[in-house]
Structure 1
Amino acid sequence: MSVQGSAMRVLRNWPIARRDALPAALWSATEIAAATGGTASHDFQVSDVEMDSRDVKRGDLFIALKGDAMDGHKFLPQAFANGAVAAIVDRPVEYPHVLVKDTTAALHALAHAARERSPAVRIGVTGSVGKTGIKEAIFLSLDRASRGAALRSIRSYNNHVGVPLTLARMPARAKFGVFEMGMNHAGEIAPLAEHVRPHVALITTIAPAHIENLGSMEAIAAEKASIFSGLVDGGMAVIPADSPYCEQMCDIAKTYGAKIITFGAAKNADVRLLDAIPSANGGSLVTADLGDTRVCYSVAEPGEHWIANSLGVMAAVKAAGGDLGAAGLALAEMGGLKGRGARHQIAVPGGKALLIDESYNANPASMRATLKALGQTPANRRVAVLGSMKELGDFAAKFHAQLTEPLSEAKVDFAVLVGEEMRSLAAELGKASAASLGITHGFAHCDNPAEAISALNEFGITHSDAILVKGSNSVGLGALVSHFTGIGGPLAQSKT
């Protein structure tokens, strides 16, 4: 038999997997109508799902959601002008559509239909700090190993709308889905977990984010651990072993019948740190014990918190049945995200300065971690632009004032403090004398980002300086980052 004939015989006998029989298009009109109980006006297929008409692209399904202040039906012309194929609506319209009683309920129904039709392993990620970065690292690991068959929450689509929207976007052929889940108040995580029904649920860490609304660290831990309530039978709970609330979270996981994997430096951790040394690129070379194997890998992101993050990534990838080698490569190649660690070289007198963009979110734990990373960053001078940490309630003054120690330990030369809550830190620095804390050029307190820009200009950033920009998103320090980098604007808010 010729080589060509042999090749044709192999192709004819190629094994057909269940996944091969699944539809290539994301949704058809018939599938949407069946999932939502609606009525389709036309026969169509869509390639993606969108709720914001400004983000619609050619081939999308636009869901006309109704909120307290906005009605998506008003933006149907813009959505179709941008390339929408069809819409889900609650009233007859002239465009191709599926007519339903309630568009929000239809989104939820479509999300659940996507979940049920796909064989994908679903991973849920929550925690006070590091959710988005860890979510991205897990996705990159699984996407690499599955050759593009993984999905994740884009941006920080982690709330009651973003989570079901991400599910609705999951192709029938997906092999993995990674879903970020955030909250502002008690009782918000469990419904998100019920949407996703994850096979693996990971908690990054517990920190006093939103303590104003939850009242105590124990309550925060309990709320985050409610993600385990949505686990499928036999699901895996991935929990930080170094957290003071590890035992509490493990107990909660056990009540839902979860299998538990812990990660961290603790001696009893299932995924345990053995060694971590600084690497030339500012990251780390990590060796970890996973029980049945040891792995050594590089982490591109700087800071000790990313060493801990990487252990959580390895634990989640292992629990999901992913490729640990691909996870190591993903961690070695991963760059910082906009507002969450992205590093920019900006032109200044004499050459270039490093600007570290952490403008998207801040709480006491992440402030300390990023200031510590700044202190480990080689630089001529270190500058910290710190915005207020929000939703700390009665604890706000205490937590802001306590930043004197990490500022001193990071050998910050000049601090720019932005926002009303930062007055307590400014008062503390004034009392102690900033110079005595090693802040040789003192500090400036500003009411807004525009004043902070002026303070930095007056200080005079020069070649080889390193500038950390860190604060809660509502402070608006993304505008300061954009001013100095010329890249984009501040991100939209999400829950943590």
Structure 2
Amino acid sequence: MSALWTSAEIAASVAGQASSDFAATGVSIDSRSLESGDLFIALQGPTFDGHDFAAAALQHGASGALIHRRPANLPANAPVIEVIDTMKALEDLGRAARARTEAKVAAVTGSVGKTSTKEALRSVLSLFAPTFASAGNLNNQWGAPLSLSRMPRDTRYGVFELGMNHAGEISPLSQMVRPHVAIITAVEPVHIEFFASVEEIADAKAEIFDGLMPGGAAVLPFDNPHFDRLEAKARRMGARILTFGAKEGAWARLIDCQILPDGNEVTAEVGGKRLRYRMAAPGKHLALNSVAVLAAAFAFELDLDQALPGLTAVRALKGRGKREHLRIPGGDIELIDEGYNASPASVRAALNLLGTLPTAFGGRRIAVLGDMRELGAAAPQLHRDLAPDLTAAKVDLAFLVGPHMRGLYDLLPDTMKGAHRAASDEMVQPLIGALKAGDTVLIKGSLGTRMAPLVEAVRSLGSGAGERTGNGQ
């Protein structure tokens, strides 16, 4: 691999002192996932200190280490760059990566759908030129500069996800990324525990415009109740406004979405141009976000007809709607893995899809839902409010995990009640004992509720019979 950074370039970017010459093919802040050739940046956090792992990182193949203190076990001849503060150095390296490229850059934020929208936009842009996008959900104060620092110098399009759970967090990230196009997927009561109102969440999302490049475009959710608030901030920052939605009046409009077992058949109108295309993953919310992606492509002055194959190629990620067929004694079951995270909006989207699609093997619809986190005083009611969605989705049995889900469980008809448990590990046996051949099992919950063990328990029931696409939320 060609060098991403030389030690001289790194030292100049971060005002550091290099002990020797070396070249890095990647950048890492985690010695456990580090790849050979990476620059290891030793960050110091409230509960860990990366300097304690610098020597191990070098032993595992790191080309060099960026440090602000020298650990006792680090060899005297170790290839290092010493700085005053490694966190600031990471930010400086991200800024240097952004400054040295001529790439057109998009930034994506929103209460739901950030990662799936980012991946769809990455897929579209990569059809036209070398494209780089942040991995997974590396979208916070560490993830955003780390992602920037990994961007190759010859990148033509960059796509970065920006996240937050407090006000004031997106603004510095946007000013670091400096997007030409800024997308807000939605504003919903996510992380409401840290805000006085959803309006404040809208204002926090609108911080993405603080770093918008001159003449840049804002892609905004026309159907959202807080659209006017977002638009006002975007206009104050000089943005060109492109709206997307399903309602009449949206500049990029979802006209129709036929949801099929293996994807969507979509009709949209973008800037007056009628488009029909196929998506590999089913769900109206994904179709809606695909229209936002096309609006971003238009803002980059790309041919929309040539962009459409990029939407067809996008598949669901692990924990974000990945669907699997599993063979068990007596037949098959379908597992829908949504265990990565959850909010009221994303749970509703997942339940809607569960109810819209025919069950793969003609059996029951099983919903396994875990507590949604960071909802503050509104949490009990927001959980209870999901009862109509379970009914509308034609759920046969619901298995609910966490203290807040107790209120929802009590509202359900007896025939729908599978079990309620305070923790996910207590739910393994009730869930596994209830499953039958033919069932479709949706598992969704916030990361802190630990739904992954339930996913693995279901997966361990039988052998894989193939992967299907999913909703990718």
Residue in structure 2 matched with residue 405 of structure 1 by the alignment: 388
Letter in 2 for 1:194: Q
Q: Where do 1:219-230 residues align within 5 Å?
A: 219-230=200-211
In the alignment, the residues of structure 1 paired with residue 351 and residue 451 of structure 2 have an alpha-carbon distance, to the nearest angstrom, of 16
Q: Offset of 1:323 from its aligned partner? A: 4.8
Q: Where do 1:65-464 residues align within 5 Å?
A: 65-92=43-70, 94=76, 95-146=78-129, 149-279=130-260, 281-325=261-305, 327-379=307-359, 380-429=363-412, 433-435=413-415, 439=416, 442-463=417-438
In the alignment, the residues of structure 2 paired with residue 346 and residue 202 of structure 1 have an alpha-carbon distance, to the nearest angstrom, of 37
Letter in 2 for 1:158: N
Residue in structure 2 matched with residue 55 of structure 1 by the alignment: 33
- Structure 1 vs Structure 2: percent identity of aligned residues? 45
Letter in 1 for 2:171: A
Q: Would the aligned equivalents of 2:134 and 2:159 in 1 still touch at CA under 8 Å?
A: yes
Letter in 2 for 1:66: Q
TM-score by length of 1: 0.88
TM-score by length of 2: 0.93
In the alignment, the residues of structure 1 paired with residue 229 and residue 408 of structure 2 have an alpha-carbon distance, to the nearest angstrom, of 32
Instruction: After the TM superposition, list the runs of 4 or more consecutive aligned residues in structure 1 that deviate by more than 6 angstroms.
Output: none
Letter in 2 for 1:458: G
Q: Offset of 1:292 from its aligned partner? A: 4.8
In the alignment, the residues of structure 2 paired with residue 454 and residue 384 of structure 1 have an alpha-carbon distance, to the nearest angstrom, of 15
Q: Offset of 1:415 from its aligned partner? A: 0.2
SS of aligned partner of 1:33: helix
Q: Would the aligned equivalents of 1:271 and 1:291 in 2 still touch at CA under 8 Å?
A: yes
Q: Would the aligned equivalents of 1:349 and 1:461 in 2 still touch at CA under 8 Å?
A: no
Q: Offset of 1:24 from its aligned partner? A: 4.9
Q: Would the aligned equivalents of 1:122 and 1:178 in 2 still touch at CA under 8 Å?
A: yes
User: How many residues of Structure 1 are paired with residues of Structure 2 in the alignment?
Assistant: 454
Letter in 1 for 2:422: D
Q: Offset of 1:182 from its aligned partner? A: 0.8
Q: Would the aligned equivalents of 1:381 and 1:466 in 2 still touch at CA under 8 Å?
A: yes
Q: Offset of 1:91 from its aligned partner? A: 3.4
Q: Would the aligned equivalents of 1:64 and 1:88 in 2 still touch at CA under 8 Å?
A: yes
SS of aligned partner of 1:390: coil
Q: Would the aligned equivalents of 1:142 and 1:323 in 2 still touch at CA under 8 Å?
A: no
Question: CA 1:327/1:474 → structure 2, altered by over 3 Å: closer, same or farther?
Answer: farther
Give the aligned CA root-mean-square deviation in angstroms.
Answer: 1.7
In the alignment, the residues of structure 2 paired with residue 274 and residue 384 of structure 1 have an alpha-carbon distance, to the nearest angstrom, of 30
* Per-residue deviation, residues 286-321 of structure 1 (Å, max 9, x unmatched): 111111522211112111111111111111222233
Letter in 1 for 2:256: D
Letter in 2 for 1:55: S
Q: Which has the higher helix share?
A: 1
* Per-residue deviation, residues 344-390 of structure 1 (Å, max 9, x unmatched): 11222322111111111111111111101000121221000000011
Letter in 2 for 1:119: E
Letter in 2 for 1:351: G
Q: Would the aligned equivalents of 1:58 and 1:83 in 2 still touch at CA under 8 Å?
A: yes
Greater Cα offset, 155-164 or 306-315: 306-315
Letter in 2 for 1:48: G
In the alignment, the residues of structure 2 paired with residue 468 and residue 331 of structure 1 have an alpha-carbon distance, to the nearest angstrom, of 24
* Per-residue deviation, residues 140-166 of structure 1 (Å, max 9, x unmatched): 1112321xx211111211100000000
SS of aligned partner of 1:84: coil
Does 1:466 find its partner at 2:449? no
In the alignment, the residues of structure 2 paired with residue 306 and residue 222 of structure 1 have an alpha-carbon distance, to the nearest angstrom, of 24
